[in-house]
Amino acid sequence: MNTERLRRRFLRNFVGALICLGAVTGPSWAQSSNALSSDLAGGIEALKPGQYLWAPMVAPSGPVLAVISLKSQRVYVYRNGVLIGVATVSTGKPGHQTPTGVFTVLQKKVHHKSNLYDSAPMPYMERLTWSGVAMHAGNLPGYPASHGCIRMPMAFAKLLYGTTARGMTVVITELDEVPRFAPVPDLLQSEASSKAEDAGGAIWAPQKSSSGPVSLILSAADHRLVVLRNGVLIGSTPVTVTGAVTETTAYSLSKVDTLGYHWVQLPLPGQSWVGTRELPISERSRVTMPDAFRSALDAVLSPGVTLVVTSDSLLASGTGKSLTVIESEP
């Protein structure tokens, strides 16, 4: 059976299973009989290098999340909490390992060439770090072979590129578990220490990055909210969190209306549910911050902004697995 016929058969099973189930989340679903039909699970496990599945019609709109599993060499794409695509990938080889953690798409370019490796072509490039890690179309030998980037099938990379936007959340994980966080760039500590007395410990410097995707990271351990725009720290404030934060969660701002800000939870590895999961007002009210900082923050929030809540510390003295958080531009 040729590749195209095999892909069409997988696609039929893929769409049928999703329509019956309503939603499937987390990269561990391929081993879960409760979340996925055996035909579909077997089909995805049997994907050969260069093959992919794509069914955007099962979730026509909503926030997009990509989860890259280094262990299975697959990328899983969700829209509005529903799995809409899976593809084989090739990530970083030994000595050039792809970093794990939570990232946002910082830059997109259809025709791009590497600044580090002999102008190697990187079609449909979606940059994750300013130090050279990106998702793009490339050679897929069936094992990790890149210099740290995530290579995808050309056709899939084009489809994904047309679906995503700058600021989209991308999770890269080694295991089927929710990533934890490592220290943020030294910029956070130097800024925080030099301006700790300003505005009750708050920092607000939007001029450091005047445009680009906005990402928020809230550390329950540090009682602090960090604001990044285009990967650059533009704000930080102490916060009060009522109750315990027991796991890492990710959200996307879906809309802003007369009722306020509507945050939709995005599925991370190990998390699953059916339908849309909006953050209730009772949960949002658990976090309080200085009124002046909240007013400034509200001015930069718009649909598509991502928020990651973690129990880990963002400081170098904190504990946690050695994972990369969003990098600042050098």
Q: Which residues are catalytic?
A: 136, 149
Number of neighbours of residue 144 by Cβ within 10 angstroms: 18
Give the C-alpha separation, 85 to 15, whole Å: 10
Distance CA 61, CA 102 (A): 22
Q: How far apart are CA 88 and CA 72, in angstroms?
A: 9
Using a 10 angstrom Cβ sphere, with 0-12 exposed, 13-18 middle and 19 or more buried, the burial of residue 318 is middle
**Separation of CA 69 from chain center:** 12
Report whether 59 contacts 80 (CB < 8 A). Answer: yes
* Distance between CA atoms of residues 249 and 310, nearest Å: 7
Q: Give bridge partners of residue 113 from the DSSP assignment.
A: 121
Please list the alpha-helical segments (H only) found in 22-153.
38-45
Q: Which amino acid is at 170?
A: V
The four Cα atoms 282, 285, 287, 290 give a dihedral, to 10 degrees, of 180
Say whether 228 sits in a helix, a strand or coil.
strand
Angle, CA 12 vertex, CA 9 and CA 14 arms, to 5°? 105
Q: Element (H or E) spanning 157, and its range?
A: helix 154-163
